[in-house]
Amino acid sequence: MPFPNPADDDDDEFAQPMLSVRTSREAAFVALEEFRNSGTWLGDVLDRLFRTASVPPRDRGLATELACGVVRRLATLDAILRKLVARPLDQVEPPLLTVLRLGIYQVILLDGVPPHASVHETVELTKRLGRIRWSGFVNGVLRGATRLVTSEFSQEPSANDVPVSAGRFRRLNDEVFADPKIDPVHYFADAYSFPHWLGERWMNRKGSPMTPAALFQIGAWFNSPGKILLRANRLRTTRDALLEEFERAGVVASPVEGLDAIQLENAAQIDRLPGFAEGLFAVQDLSAMQAAIRLAPQPGDRVWDVCAAPGGKTCHLAELMNNTGTILATDIRPERLRLIEENRERLGADIISPQWIGEDGSGLPDSPFNAILIDVPCSNTGVLGKRPEARWRITASGITELNRVQERLLSDALARLAPKGRAVYSTCSIEPEENGELVARVLSRFPGIRLVEEVNFLPGEPSDGGYQALLVRE
């Protein structure tokens, strides 16, 4: 049965104590509260905590899993909590709700921790926070969750099945979600944890609507831990030499067919991998690698990377050019230019010149370029698994606003493309209005430029989603 909210003390407003963070759950709670209060990226908060707090290295992985998992599966956790808490969740003290979400995530969605241990550790967290009056309530709700969840699994979604991985659903003892056969969008939104409007948008998309099965497949992909791919820096090593370096260090990795890249089999702290400081590799997804390869810049070319920060694709361009020629790397944020400089120095890509341009287009270069990469800011609907917060930040109105920026950037770039020059327009989005529709609209104003190739990358097939169009001036 649902548990009532503990009585609030009129003169006892919650103020987070000066908690000396020592455990994974404490770190996760602090990170989640900072995200709730300020919207700070979880990764930034956790990095700072790990530098300043006394969280043992062995606990940092669990802290990251808990904090990111709670934000990623926020709608799923709240759907379950609505079955277990008597009053509306917006009437539960926000920090208490954070504790409950942490507990439910451990009991139902986290493998490897026994339910009784999850309940005990979450109750102990309330005591460390100085909120003894929460402990009985939290204990009751989480014990209710242990009775709700079963040890049974199925391969098909239903109203009492919560997805835990691709094609794998954990059985609950009660119907928590909408029937996926009757209301697939509502099931997708709650069970996979996405904004309802986004699922509705994808299923009703003009020209290329998603089936319920495709919608659930994308949800599972974005909720699954992604594999880390590393692009070997051909200016300093080869893929095979990098694999040998990792093998000597005991790092398990495998080659990616057809690319100068390897895939790590386990999670890792990138800057502690062998060869990182020496610039032997860069982290990059498969679809992102394809952008520079599709542009195919030649040694000696004059190249412009329009939205270059943090510089991963820029450095890849330099590698393909054998570090010969020039690359202008522009961005509208000065602090982001420093990231380009850091990557340039680490990877030895000497031909890159970072340059600031204004949001209004001031400072744009005048000279024509042989090759231009236009990797525009976008909705990121193709990479919603990368950062757990991303799915909650995107809005329909935001996509409309991005369209105006994307159209201006592509137009500015094509106006500076040399005869016989090549350009690649690239996004991390799967929305047609950011991709093919926009390219067609802009090309109607540039009769001397034609579309040679366009590729839509679907999430999970086999990498992140996105779009690339190769454009050539006659």
Residue 8 domain flag: no
Q: Give 8's pLDDT tier (boundaries 50, 70, 90).
A: very low
Look at residue 10 and tell me whether its pLDDT is greater than 60. Answer: no
- What is the pLDDT at residue 361? 80
Q: What is the pLDDT of residues 380-408, one digit of tens each?
A: 999 999 889 999 999 999 999 999 999 99
CA of 413: how far to CAs of 173, 275, 407, in Å?
Answer: 57, 35, 10
Which one-letter DSSP state was computed for residue 359? T
Residue 15 domain flag: no
Question: Rounded CA gap, 37 and 25, in Å?
Answer: 18
- What is the pLDDT at residue 186? 98
Contact present, 357 and 328 (Cβ < 8 Å): no
- 178 and 212 share a domain? yes
Among residues 266, 258, 310, the alpha carbon closest in space to that of 286 is found at: 258
Residue 16 domain flag: no
Q: Give 4's pLDDT tier (boundaries 50, 70, 90).
A: low
Residue 2 domain flag: no
Count how many domains the chain has: 4
Residue 10 domain flag: no
Find the mean pLDDT for residues 278-297.
Answer: 96
- Which residue, 90, 117, 151, sits at the end of a domain? 151
Cβ count within 10 A of residue 251 = 17
- 40 and 184 share a domain? no
- 402 and 444 share a domain? yes
Find the mean pLDDT for residues 25-47.
Answer: 92
Report the CATH number at residue 269: 3.30.70.1170
Domain that holds residue 69: 24-151
- What is the pLDDT at residue 5? 57
Q: Give 12's pLDDT tier (boundaries 50, 70, 90).
A: very low
- What is the pLDDT at residue 359? 85
- 337 and 412 share a domain? yes
Q: Give 19's pLDDT tier (boundaries 50, 70, 90).
A: low
- 31 and 76 share a domain? yes
- What is the pLDDT at residue 390? 92
Find the mean pLDDT for residues 210-237.
Answer: 94
Lowest mean pLDDT among 56-65, 302-311, 419-428: 56-65
Phi, psi dihedral angles at 5 (to 5 degrees): -70, 140
- Which residue, 172, 205, 223, sits at the end of a domain? 223
- Which residue, 223, 253, 269, sits at the end of a domain? 223
Q: What is the pLDDT of residues 105-142, one digit of tens each?
A: 999 999 888 999 999 999 999 999 999 999 999 999 99
- 177 and 253 share a domain? no
**Between residues 93 and 21, the one the model is more confident about:** 93
Residue 5 domain flag: no
Report the CATH number at residue 95: 1.10.940.10
- What is the pLDDT at residue 368? 96
Residue 199 domain flag: yes
Q: Give 14's pLDDT tier (boundaries 50, 70, 90).
A: very low
Q: What is the pLDDT of residues 318-338, one digit of tens each?
A: 999 999 999 999 999 989 999
What is the full DSSP assignment across 171-231? EESS--S--TTT-HHHHHHHHTT--HHHHHHHHT-SSSPPPHHHHHHHHHHHHSPPPPEEE
The 10 Å CB-count burial string (b at 16+, else e) for 202-226 is bbeeeeeebebeebbbbbbbbbeee
> In terms of C-beta density within 10 A (0-12 exposed, 13-18 middle, 19 or more buried), how is residue 78 classed?
middle
- 413 and 369 share a domain? yes
Which one-letter DSSP state was computed for residue 366? -
Question: Rounded CA gap, 289 and 457, in Å?
Answer: 12
- 303 and 257 share a domain? no
- 315 and 416 share a domain? yes
- What is the pLDDT at residue 267? 78
- 358 and 450 share a domain? yes
- 296 and 276 share a domain? no
| DSSP-assigned beta bridge partners for residue 168 | 165
- 54 and 90 share a domain? yes
Look at residue 422 and tell me whether its pLDDT is greater than 60. Answer: yes
pTM of the predicted model as reported, rounded to 2 decimal places: 0.91
Find the mean pLDDT for residues 147-152.
Answer: 95
Mean pLDDT of the chain: 93
Report the CATH number at residue 442: 3.40.50.150
- What is the pLDDT at residue 151? 93
Question: Rounded CA gap, 318 and 14, in Å?
Answer: 53
What is the full DSSP assignment across 302-320? EEEESS-TT-HHHHHHHHH
Q: What is the pLDDT of residues 73-108, one digit of tens each?
A: 999 999 999 999 999 999 999 999 999 999 999 999
Among residues 386, 286, 279, the alpha carbon closest in space to that of 343 is found at: 279
Residue 181 domain flag: yes
**Residues recognised as catalytic:** 428
Question: Rounded CA gap, 344 and 135, in Å?
Answer: 52
